[in-house]
Amino acid sequence: MEARKTYRAWDPSQNQQQAYSPEAELPEDDLVFFLLDTVPQLDLSAFYAPYERETRGAPPYDVAMMCTLLTYAYCVGVFSSRKIAAACERNLAFKAIVGAEPPNFRTISDFRKIHHEAFVDFFVVVLRLAGEMGMVRLGNLAIDGTKVQANASRHKAMSYAYMNKEIERVRAEIEALLKRAQAVDTEEDAALGSRRGDELPEELKRREDRLRVLEEAKKRLEEEKKQRAEEERTRRQQAEAEREAEGKKRRGRQPQPVSETPADKAQTNFTDPEAKIMKTNNKGFDYCFNAQAAVDETYQIIVAAEVTAQANDKQQGVPMAQASRANLEEADIVPKPSEHATALAQSPPRKIVATLDNGYFSEQAVEGIEKSGFDPHIATGRQKHNTPPVPVVDGSPPAGASAQERMAHKLRTKLGREHYAKRKCIVEPVFGQIKHARGFRRFLLRGLKKVRGEWNLVCLTHNLLKIWRYRCALA
């Protein structure tokens, strides 16, 4: 008789009756146990503060538990509040955090919205932990930005030209509805006598609401254009003053007067008005935010995380340098200026190397980054493919060289090349780990302030993952 293969016993009915313990089933060094040990020990006072002032209602979920839940969810790439709530009922690691009383999706969503500012403070708390573990060496700080899709639909947007047409059309419809309602009132008064006059037809309500939304959007575009026009006038005045000081004449034609009227193609979004249309990596356009990060070289710890609605990085170098300096001082990784004065009175503090791509370069950016205590290495242009490398130079730049020429000379030195060559290996893998490994490609919150808090949550969980892996490596 032919022998049959033997299989391991499987009894689904018995498995359904088993009581599983996360501690018994999960590995001892699992991420969830690391976060359960770490997060409640950190400074969470920014999260507790709103509840201490509110005594009404049922007792809220423990803040430490909610923070641990959100940090673990973002670490493993679960961002939707509904998916987090479902995982709390089905996933053993999530159940290790929430226990027998999991929060519903609305509680999770509200906690993330309410505490968006607290996550900015929590980012610095985690950065301090990384600094205490010696994971922030400040040998080379790379700054870069990435476009992250906003929680806004392209189909819920309208151009300035079409907006004006739509406003006129809705106004005409409202006027026609009012005339029709007045005619009906006159007929009913003749037939039935007096009636209440405060009723507003539902059709009219809907159009008046739409008109209000359209007029607000139009006003928003006009205010944005007026602000950009004022900035352009200031820039032209500064450029003209510099030319007069240097004794140079304007070249080319006289520029056109600055217009304060939005272009016909200027758009705004009704879902998230603060999101802007930006070019994405797939060579298409979508409503996005420009997420910025400053990353330390050694362990790829993010030291500063900011979000802007400006697609261009030109104006982001100085704010990112200032944010990095402020976070490093608050996290006690670098001494504050007053401490420099007493401890290092004889010698100035070492400037931290900061590497940025050519999208950040401007004379004002170089000056501002240097004032923040960094040694900027910013590319002054793109190097085309299949072109021979520029020869290495020594010594100082020539006398009378412009800011762009001095920076180009710095990057052509042996040390400057070594610093800038590391930029791609420092900051760009971080965006890959966030967007592709963890799958964070779209913000869930709306509005620049809330989006900034969510980006800080994403970046602090990146740092926590680095700390966990560093501790596992040591073990």
Q: What is the pLDDT of residues 274-300, one digit of tens each?
A: 888 888 876 688 889 999 999 999 999
Identify the domain boundary among 114, 144, 172.
Answer: 114
Q: How far is CA 426 from CA 278, 323, 399, 423, 435, in A?
A: 25, 18, 34, 5, 15
Identify the domain boundary among 218, 244, 269.
Answer: 269
- 473 pLDDT band, cuts 50/70/90, is confident
User: In the numeric block, which tokens belong to residue 264?
Assistant: 């016909």
Asked, for residue 359, whether it belongs to a domain, the answer is: yes
Secondary structure of residue 285 in the 3-state scheme: strand
**279 shares a domain with 222:** no
Asked, for residue 7, whether it belongs to a domain, the answer is: no
Pairwise pLDDT comparison (84 vs 386), residue with the higher score: 84
Sequence-ordered list of residues with C-beta below 8 angstroms from that of 354, at least 6 positions apart, any chain:
140, 141, 142, 143, 294, 321, 324, 369, 374, 375, 376, 377
Sequence-ordered list of residues with C-beta below 8 angstroms from that of 142, at least 6 positions apart, any chain:
294, 295, 297, 354, 355, 356, 422, 423, 426, 427
Report which DSSP code applies to 395: S
**262 shares a domain with 192:** yes
Name the most confidently modeled range: 5-9, 214-218, 388-392, 462-466: 462-466
pLDDT for res 344 = 46
Identify the domain boundary among 218, 250, 269.
Answer: 269
**264 shares a domain with 189:** yes
**105 shares a domain with 41:** yes
**279 shares a domain with 264:** no
Number of neighbouring beta carbons within 10 Å of residue 422: 17
Asked, for residue 216, whether it belongs to a domain, the answer is: yes
Asked, for residue 3, whether it belongs to a domain, the answer is: no
Secondary structure of residue 146 in the 3-state scheme: strand
**219 shares a domain with 253:** yes
**284 shares a domain with 372:** yes
List, as own/partner pairs, every contact residues 225-232 make where C-beta atoms lie below 8 angstroms and the sequence separation is at least 24, other chains included.
225/259, 225/260, 225/261, 225/262, 225/266, 226/260, 229/258, 229/259, 229/260, 232/258
Residues spanned by the domain of 453: 122-152+272-474
pLDDT for res 384 = 74
**428 shares a domain with 284:** yes
Question: Are 430 and 297 within 8 A, CB to CB?
Answer: no
- Percent over 90 (pLDDT), the chain: 48
**211 shares a domain with 140:** no
- The residue written with tokens 């573990």 in the block is 133
Question: Taking residues 77-98, what's their average pLDDT?
Answer: 94
Pairwise pLDDT comparison (291 vs 19), residue with the higher score: 291
Could you give the number of structural domains in the chain? 3
